[in-house]
Structure 1
Amino acid sequence: MERKERAKTATTGGMTLVEVVVSLALLAVVALILVTGFSAAGKLIRRGTDTKNSTDKTISALEMLAGGLSPADEVDSTEEESTLTYTLNGATRSVKGRTITVTDPEDPAISHRVFVPDAPAQ
């Protein structure tokens, strides 16, 4: 009698080959989803870093150009005469100056502009 009980317990305690294959298939699907997610996150981080570096480069070049210096990095810049007009407490004033625009040639979506007055407003 004991032998029959042991035999039953031994045969019902393990996993079948089908269960193992299904488990491995599910594990593979979960692993694929995780790898795809990490890959997408890595691309987003890389793009964010590139955008930050490009922004830093154009702002640095813009500050140097506004100060009358040559930028250290390779950037596209334009400079044009312009007038800034504003109203404060009912009085309208105009300030002549120049507008400097700097664009990163490696990422044309990154562009910054600044107005540099010729003289302080009166």
Structure 2
Amino acid sequence: MKFTRRLNPNASTDLIPMIDVVFQLVVFFLMSSTFIVAPGITLDLPQSSTTESIQNEGITVFLFEDGRLFIADQEYSMDGLAEYFSSGAVPASTSVIIEGESGVPYQRIISVLDILRKNGMKAASLRAETSSD
């Protein structure tokens, strides 16, 4: 007796779930990768052999040897910097990274740190380049 199959085997592959998985992976890698967003200000940073990597999630203050001071691409004076942080536009929990050229006087860096502390900023870091020692 010969039996006949009622159901024919379905040998086609469904690509929709695979496309969904690939799309989810692309979205995951786009969202989890870090993008370095830094203004186009170049500094000659001091060298250090014990630097640690930090995440740039806050505000970066740039100090130049000639006395100029920038936040992003906006130039400020010391008084203007104090007004910027005292205006309340920057939450006290925001981390501040200070990038100063290697010839910036130490007193100028201390003055910036004083302004930050007077305005309630709790987290401040100094950035340096890693030396090849």
The answer to whether TM tops 0.5 is no
Category of TM-score, reference length = shorter chain: 0.3 to 0.5
Bigger helix share: 1
Bigger strand share: 1
**Higher-Rg member (1/2):** 1
Query: Which of structures 1 and 2 has the larger relative contact order (alpha carbons within 8 angstroms, sep 6+)?
Result: 2
Provide the TM-score with structure 1 as the length reference.
0.34
